[in-house]
Structure formats: structure tokens, C-alpha cells
Amino acid sequence: MPASPPARKAARSTTAAPQREAATRDADKTRLNILEAAEAEFAAKGLAGARVDVVAEEAGANKRMIYYYFGSKEDLYLAVLERVYTDMRVAEAELALEAMAPLAAITCLAEFKFDYPAQHPHLIPLLNSENLLGGEYLRRSLRLREMQISLIARLEAILARGAADGTLRAGIDPLHLYLTISAVSYFYFSNNPTLSTAFGRDLATPDERAARRRHVVDVVTRYIERV
Amino acid sequence: MPASPPARKAARSTTAAPQREAATRDADKTRLNILEAAEAEFAAKGLAGARVDVVAEEAGANKRMIYYYFGSKEDLYLAVLERVYTDMRVAEAELALEAMAPLAAITCLAEFKFDYPAQHPHLIPLLNSENLLGGEYLRRSLRLREMQISLIARLEAILARGAADGTLRAGIDPLHLYLTISAVSYFYFSNNPTLSTAFGRDLATPDERAARRRHVVDVVTRYIERV
DNA sequence: TGTTTATGTAACTGGTTAGTTAATATGGGT
DNA sequence: ACCCATATTAACTAACCAGTTACATAAACA
């Protein structure tokens, strides 16, 4: 016996309003629903483990729509990755570091690199998946490069400012500083499950997180401060 | 047409020798071959992406043998994970940190945490896969806990020694120090593909690696040194 | 030597999955 | 009021893949 057609929301024909109702048809909404469902699915299961049918169901869309809008599972994965990665870079670019004192600017960046993955929990699983795949999808994408490089240039300027006013040491490599700032936060989030197991202590509690955040700022501060 | 049977090595019947020749039948060897092939396959593709048939082929064994020796794909994954993880903990436990001056002991640990993943490239992909899965397999395993906890106790003793002789600051949290030491190396290796892409610069070259190693030791030193 | 047990092989199975097909509904433009 | 590109659906398929079965052969041992 063929399944009865699924219940549909009644179509509101009040089409005058510019902000669209969730009507029977809304291409942009369908596309966005798919993208968001895919972000959760790929973050949770990785590229190989993710199921296209699950994405479709979670998005409330037909599986065919994924292929209609994104072409393939891999292209959908790439679209998700680009979106998440770009969002992070944009947020990073919007930090008003230039308006701050050098030491404050660097600690602000460190706090941002800690808080952002905490507030966007899909980011790290997606980046980890991508690194397991050798980074080939992100490499295939890019316009991203310039954003990142410009951040290093900004860091370099801040470090120079700090060296000039005597608050920071001279000779700090901005790229390695950036890697270290990223690392001390990223590792805490990405490896939290195995670390918690190894130490027999839940490292994901609010208290542990706050303690880690303080430690991260402390490590960065001691590395750059003039003594 | 059925395939002709694969060529077999001639059976040496000199069974007197205690160290076995790679004879027609060698259960231990077959088991080990499977384990090593599985390590490479799981490291390269993750649990979901790995193919049992590929493991069998790479091991020069029949797929049936995987189920004979390991029960299931998941149990094979767990066996691989346990082996790799335990090896690392054993190597870590063998560091003669107690024989060194406090500062030297900590930098030695930092260098070890950098060099070990460089020499065991399957470790980080496997740990990343496991963390993506929420760490549930490693959690299911354990006798591992005590090893890790004892390392923190050792670190604590070294830090106390350093505080007493005035070479290190007092009040350093050994767990967070260990996390930071791990993080600054781990992140460099685990995220090398996306970082290289983002910065438009191959960060995996010997020169870049050596530079990163120096930076890591520098960061750790500056964090613990008394100033 | 003959029986048992460990080790190995090839072919199969049942369920899953990415991707496709073909038919259909919707609504803006005219 | 109707047309047609856009959007959507259910059902299909071909490939794949983890796990199984039935059978074969080598060593262990009586």
C-alpha cells in the first residue's frame, strides 16, 4: 500500500508581506534548511559517516532537493565547510584589535579563539574531519586565503606597536603566536572526550572551561609580555 | 571462470627453530598483519570511512580472518586504538624526567610531545577520529586511566621541585600545563592541512617543523620559568 | 595413522546508501 | 486564466559493504 502524502502546512496566501511566511514553497528556506541540517550531520558523523537521507529528513526536505541545490554529498560537505569557516574568519576580522593597547589586543584575540568554538560547537568537528581528509576540500575552495593572511599582518602590526611602546617583547613571530593561541584553545575542545577519559575527570564542565580559559590567557600573556 | 588460487610461499618444515619462518600458517603473524593494516586504514579514513575489505587485502589475509580474530569492525578499531594509545603512554612513562633538573625535565617532555606524533603519524588521525566519535571507544577500554594520572603526579612533583629550588614559578597547575604542552604540538600536526591552505604556505616542511619545535619549547619555557 | 582443532578461502547475503527517474505541484509573469 | 520555469515528491536502482556460511587444508596430538 502506498504511503499517504505527508501533511502539509496550509499555504498562507498573504503574499503581500515582504518577509516570507514558511509557505508551501520557499527555495531559499529549503536550501538553508538543508545547509543547516547538513552542518549538524557532518559535524556529528564526518563526511563518510554522514547520511544524505538523514540530512534530508532533518531539513524537512526531500532527498532530491539536496542534489537539486548542491549536486552531490561532497559538494554539500564543501558548502557547509565554506560557510562555517568563512563565518569564523569574518568574526575574527571584525575584532577591533587596532583600537586596543597591544597586550589587550592579543589577550582579546586569545579570548575570542577560546569563546568562538565554545559558541559554535560544529566548527571543530568539521575542521577535524576536514584535516583527516587532508584538507583537500577546503583547498579546493578558496578565496579564504587572503582573509587569514591579513590577520597575520594585523598581528604583526600589533606586535610591532607593543615592542615600540615597551609592553611586549621584540622578535615574536606572528604566525607561530597565532598558531599557539589557536592551539591551546582548540585542543581543549577537540580532544575533550579522550582527555576526560584519560584523566578520569569531566573537563567539559563550566568550571573546567572557565579554568581553561584563564590558563590560556595566562600562557599567552606570559609569552608576549616584556619582563 | 574461477580465479586460480594465489601463489603460496613454500612451507618450510624446519619447525625446530623457535622463531617461526613466515610459513604457510602463522596465526600471530596474520593477526599482527591485520592490526597494522587496520591502523593505516583507520588512520587514513576513520571508522566509518575504513573498508574491512581493504584491511584484509593490505594485510594479505582473508576478510574472514578479521572476524575470526577481532569479531567486528568496531572491535578491530578498538584494538588498533588501544595499541596506539598504550604505546604512547608507555613511551611517555619511560621518560627519565625525575633524573633531570626541573626546567630541563619539562622542556624534555615538551620535546617528546612534539617528536612522538612526528614519528608515529597514525596517532593523531586515530585520536582525532576517536574524539569525533565522542571518545566512546577509548572510554569503553580502560586500564589506561592510571597511566595518565600518574604522569600528572610526576609533573606535579617536578613543578614542586622547581618551585623549591627557585628555577620555576610556584602555583603552576600540572594538568593545564600538560594540556598546553600537548596542545601546542598536537594542533600543529593535526591541523596542518587546513592551516597550510589558509596561510598559503606548506607548514609541513622540515624547516617549518623545526621552527615550530623551537617555538613550542620557547612557549613552555616562558610559561614556567621564574622571572 | 586418524581425529581434532586451528587457520584459511571463496562465494554469498541482506541491508544500506548515494544518486536517479519521471511524474507532479506551485505560483509569478503575461 | 493560463503557461511554464521552478520547486518538489515518491519510488527506483545499481553499487557497496559488513558480516556469514560452507567448505578446505594444515598442524597438533592421540
B227 burial (CB, 10 Å; 0-12 / 13-18 / 19+) is exposed
Residue A32 amino acid letter: L
Q: What is the mean pLDDT of chain A?
A: 87
Question: What percent of chain A clears pLDDT 70, i.e. is strictly above it?
Answer: 86
Whether the CB-CB separation of B138 and B74 falls below 8 Å is answered with: no
Whether the CB-CB separation of A149 and A63 falls below 8 Å is answered with: no
Grid coordinates given for A31: 536550501
Bridge partners of A168? A225
Look at residue B9 in the predicted model and tell me its pLDDT. 31
The whole-angstrom distance between B116's CA and the closest CA on chain A is: 17
Is B214 strand, coil or helix?
helix
Residue predicted with more confidence, B21 or B28: B28
pLDDT in tens, B123-178: 999 999 999 999 999 988 856 666 777 899 999 999 999 999 999 999 999 999 99
Provide the chain B residues 143-172 that lie in CB contact (below 8 A) with chain A: 144-145, 148-149, 152
Q: Where are the domains of chain B?
A: 25-71, 81-224
Q: Assign B7 a pLDDT band (cuts: 50, 70, 90).
A: very low
Whether the CB-CB separation of B148 and B178 falls below 8 Å is answered with: no
A25 touches strand D (CB under 7 A): yes
Residue B13 pLDDT greater than 80, yes or no: no
Residue A25 pLDDT greater than 90, yes or no: no
Q: B85: which DSSP letter?
A: H
Residue A111 pLDDT greater than 60, yes or no: yes
Find out if CATH 1.10.10.10 is the number for domain B25-71. no
Nearest-CA residue relative to C1' of C21? A64
Rounded distance in angstroms from the CA atom of residue B94 to the C1' atom of nucleotide C13: 49
How far apart (Å, rounded) are the C-alpha atoms in residues A213 and B3? 62
Q: How many CA atoms lie within 13 A of A212 on its CB side?
A: 26
Cβ within 8 Å, pair B125-A144: no
pLDDT in tens, A139-193: 888 666 667 778 999 999 999 999 999 999 999 999 999 999 999 999 999 999 9
DSSP states along A143-187: SHHHHHHHHHHHHHHHHHHHHHHTSB-S---HHHHHHHHHHHHHH
pLDDT in tens, B32-65: 889 999 999 999 999 999 999 999 998 888 888 8
A45/B contact by beta carbon, under 8 A: yes
The whole-angstrom distance between B165's CA and the closest CA on chain A is: 21
Q: Which nucleotides of C are covered by protein (CB under 7 A)?
A: 6-11, 16-22, 26-28
CATH superfamily to which A77-224 belongs: Tetracycline Repressor, domain 2 (1.10.357.10)
Cβ contacts of A24 within 8 Å, gap of 6 or more: A8, A9, A11
Nucleotide nearest to A3 (CA to C1'): D10
B68 touches strand D (CB under 7 A): no
B164 burial (CB, 10 Å; 0-12 / 13-18 / 19+) is exposed
Rounded distance in angstroms from the CA atom of residue A30 to the C1' atom of nucleotide C30: 28
CATH superfamily to which B81-224 belongs: Tetracycline Repressor, domain 2 (1.10.357.10)
Rounded distance in angstroms from the CA atom of residue A227 to the C1' atom of nucleotide D25: 76
Bridge partners of B25? none
Q: Which nucleotides of D are covered by protein (CB under 7 A)?
A: 6-11, 17-22, 26-28
pLDDT in tens, B59-101: 888 888 899 999 999 999 999 999 999 999 999 999 999 999 9
Query: Which of A62-66, B96-100, B188-192 is predicted with the least confidence, judged by mean pLDDT?
Result: A62-66
- What's the rounded mean pLDDT across residues A36-45? 94
**C-alpha B31: how far from its chain's center?**
20
- B128, B139, B222 member nearest A128 (Cβ): B128
- Dihedral Cα B64, B67, B68, B74, nearest 10 deg: 160
Look at residue B28 in the predicted model and tell me its pLDDT. 75
Among the four given CATH numbers 3.20.20.70, 3.40.50.300, 1.10.10.60, 3.40.47.10, the one describing domain A22-71? 1.10.10.60
Phi, psi of B76 (to 5 degrees): -65, -45
How far apart (Å, rounded) are the C-alpha atoms in residues A175 and B165? 35
Cβ within 8 Å, pair A131-B49: no
Q: Is the dihedral of CA A158, A164, A169, A170 positive or negative?
A: positive
A147 burial (CB, 10 Å; 0-12 / 13-18 / 19+) is middle
Which is nearest to B35 in space by CA: B2, B58, B14?
B58
Cβ within 8 Å, pair B211-A138: no
A197 touches strand C (CB under 7 A): no
How far apart (Å, rounded) are the C-alpha atoms in residues B39 and A147? 37
Nearest residue in B to A50, CA atom:
B48
pLDDT in tens, A119-134: 999 999 999 999 999 9
